[in-house]
Amino acid sequence: MAVVDHKKADATQESLHRIFTVPEAPESTLGRIEKEISENLNAFLQTHIAAREKPLAEIEKDFSSADIPERPSFVSEHTHFLLDKLVAQSVHTSAPTFIGHMTSALPYFLMPLSKIMIGLNQNLVKIETSKAFTPLERQVLGMLHNLIYHEEDAFYQQWMHSANHSLGAFCSGGTIANITALWVARNSALKPDGEFKGVAQEGLFKAMKHYGYEDLVVLVSERGHYSLKKATDVLGLGRDCLIPIKTDSHNRVCVNEMRAKLDELRQKNIKAFAIVGVAGTTETGNIDPLEDLADLAQEYGCHFHVDAAWGGATLMSNTYRSLLKGIERADSVTIDAHKQLYVPMGAGMVIFKNPALMTAIEHHAEYILRKGSKDLGSHTLEGSRSGMAMLLYASLNIISRPGYEMLINTSIEKAQYFASLINEHPDFELISEPELCLLTYRYAPARTQDALRLADPEQREELLAALDDMTKFIQKRQRESGKSFVSRTRITPEAWDRRLTTVFRVVLANPLTTEQILKGVLEEQQEIAKQSLISFPKINTLTESILNQQVAL
């Protein structure tokens, strides 16, 4: 019983032909949106993202049908649906008051350039479908290699475009980059040897028998990113084979602990085939002592990988690049361009010091990726890949190294400024001092801070737990009210006997975030706190009873 709905489009050969050949008219819905976005993206997002959050369960109702439509929609009609239900309930990650994410505002030029990228729709897996994009991507990898390792010009002339070598891999993000690095490290550790054709060919089981290891592990600080666990999992080692090493009061790995662990493993005939240094932890932005880790890796014969997904861009700054000293001794380095290099999501890289290292994962196929071809796909985990490298290439040219330096320096100095605001404020406590542009802090009224110093262990724990709840509450309330956003995490600060503590986490990478905004964020938090102390009376009662008890003594 067909009910004819005149408002619906029809799936006809003509209409299909139309969507492939006729552009959206300037006065059409999408045409108008395009214009608005190119003229003022921020205004567009301000207008279309709803000020108040809808509960997720409500949003899910708009996305609840599993039916693929039997009838097509008109573009304009569907666009309205997307604006209403999707855009309105998305997150304004580029807002200068949203200082809790690692994604920030993007330069405008990237939008039309992305359109060129999508329009060309190149596939970087092989030259046949990417042509000049392949040399461009190889050049980008060379530029990043140069940023880390500073080889002579002749080095890059020799290796950048060499068919059987690769200075690294461009990929969708830090996770794939880390997996690729450890994949190369694993295959190098279990390489072909005599009759044994290598782990890549014969698998882990036979490799372990051949080499006679009891187990295979990777060492990283307890602040290491969770993607490393995924890596040991997909590499067939299991998540337990990522061994966390204690950190010091600045969230940096304790080198002595790592050395002790390496000795212990050696005695047990367990092969630590890689150690990972973190250059910018995701939670606090601290950097491991890379020079010392490089020494350890050399001494114990491990692959040395540096996860600089977040902090790698600091190398652009002549002022701050020394924070990453020792990174030039890493065998491989992960850098995310979609974090502090300000390109859109989907741009990660792993760079290898030695251009021959990636042969450990080289893969050939007859119909593509023939031996001796310059196809990038023979050294990447991913298959089909977009021309994303073009956006990074354009940014490196348009912004330039000194431009990036200004962005990086400004971010770090902004974090230092925010840290001083927190330190001067009687009701907030800085938890982690910013090394890069990340810091953590929490709300704790001045009198409660006094009480904490006097409390016995039991009272102290009770008070700290109440402060945890409060921090959580403030963060949630602030997010829901939609004006500004900081994130929240739980860390184990040494200063508080490694007690798991809830803290605000702030990332100051958005160049449009002003000092005024930062003051506003603290004011808003204090306002929420004042109101909520009524619903959290415990903090005040406990505080007062501890302080009175002291007076009485």
Ligand X SMILES: *Cc1c(COP(=O)(O)O)cnc(C)c1O
Give the helix/strand (H/E) hosting 406: helix 389-424
Task: Confirm or reject binding of residue 247 to ligand X (CB under 6 A).
Answer: no
Task: Confirm or reject binding of residue 104 to ligand X (CB under 6 A).
Answer: no
Residue type present at position 66: A
Q: Which residue of 137, 288, 307, 405 would you call a contact of ligand X, by CB under 6 A?
A: 307
Q: Which residue of 348, 355, 377, 445 would you call a contact of ligand X, by CB under 6 A?
A: 348
**Euclidean distance between CA atoms 196 and 226, whole angstroms:** 33
**Interface region with ligand X, contact rule CB under 6 A, candidates 79-87, 167-175, 297-305, 544-552:** 167-175
Alpha-carbon distances, residue 516 vs 94, 424, 522, 547 (angstroms)? 17, 16, 10, 35
State the minimum distance, in angstroms, from the CB of residue 502 to ligand X.
20
Q: Which residue of 101, 138, 145, 225 would you call a contact of ligand X, by CB under 6 A?
A: 225
Nearer to ligand X, 225 or 303 (CB): 225
Q: Which residue of 100, 142, 168, 174 would you call a contact of ligand X, by CB under 6 A?
A: 174
The residue nearest ligand X at its CB is 174
**Euclidean distance between CA atoms 108 and 475, whole angstroms:** 30
Q: Which residue of 79, 175, 284, 510 would you call a contact of ligand X, by CB under 6 A?
A: 175
Q: Which residue of 282, 478, 525, 543 would you call a contact of ligand X, by CB under 6 A?
A: 282
Contact present, 189 and 216 (Cβ < 8 Å): yes
Q: What is the 8-class DSSP label of residue 234?
A: H
Give the helix/strand (H/E) hosting 517: helix 515-532
Helix axis angle for 446-454 and 537-552, nearest 10°, is 50
Q: Write the DSSP assignment of 104-155 as a string of letters.
A: ----TTHHHHHHHHHHHT--TTSGGGTTTHHHHHHHHHHHHHHHHH---HHH
Nearer to ligand X, 451 or 509 (CB): 509
State the minimum distance, in angstroms, from the CB of residue 308 to ligand X.
7
Task: Confirm or reject binding of residue 443 to ligand X (CB under 6 A).
Answer: no
Nearer to ligand X, 310 or 393 (CB): 310
Task: Confirm or reject binding of residue 232 to ligand X (CB under 6 A).
Answer: no
State the minimum distance, in angstroms, from the CB of residue 350 to ligand X.
11
Give the residue among 442, 446, 513 at the shortest CA–CA distance from 472. 442
Task: Confirm or reject binding of residue 96 to ligand X (CB under 6 A).
Answer: no
**Euclidean distance between CA atoms 483 and 480, whole angstroms:** 8
Nearer to ligand X, 173 or 445 (CB): 173
State the minimum distance, in angstroms, from the CB of residue 399 to ligand X.
20
Q: Which residue of 310, 352, 428, 485 would you call a contact of ligand X, by CB under 6 A?
A: 310
Task: Confirm or reject binding of residue 333 to ligand X (CB under 6 A).
Answer: no
Q: What is the 8-class DSSP label of residue 431?
A: E
Task: Confirm or reject binding of residue 183 to ligand X (CB under 6 A).
Answer: no
Task: Confirm or reject binding of residue 336 to ligand X (CB under 6 A).
Answer: yes
State the minimum distance, in angstroms, from the CB of residue 331 to ligand X.
17
- At residue 486, φ and ψ (nearest 5 deg) are -120, 155
Buried b (16+ CB within 10 A) or exposed e, 193-205: eeebebbbeeeee
Task: Confirm or reject binding of residue 173 to ligand X (CB under 6 A).
Answer: yes
- At residue 26, φ and ψ (nearest 5 deg) are -55, -35
**Residues that contact ligand X, how many (by CB under 6 A):** 14
**Interface region with ligand X, contact rule CB under 6 A, candidates 1-9, 249-257, 306-314, 396-404:** 306-314
Q: Which residue of 302, 309, 419, 546 would you call a contact of ligand X, by CB under 6 A?
A: 309
State the minimum distance, in angstroms, from the CB of residue 247 to ligand X.
14
**Interface region with ligand X, contact rule CB under 6 A, candidates 26-34, 174-182, 263-271, 379-387:** 174-182
Q: What is the 8-class DSSP label of residue 10?
A: -
**Euclidean distance between CA atoms 87 and 102, whole angstroms:** 20
Neighbours of 327 (CB within 10 A): 26
**Chain residues in the site for ligand X (CB under 6 A):** 173-175, 178, 225, 227, 278, 280, 282, 307, 309-310, 336, 348
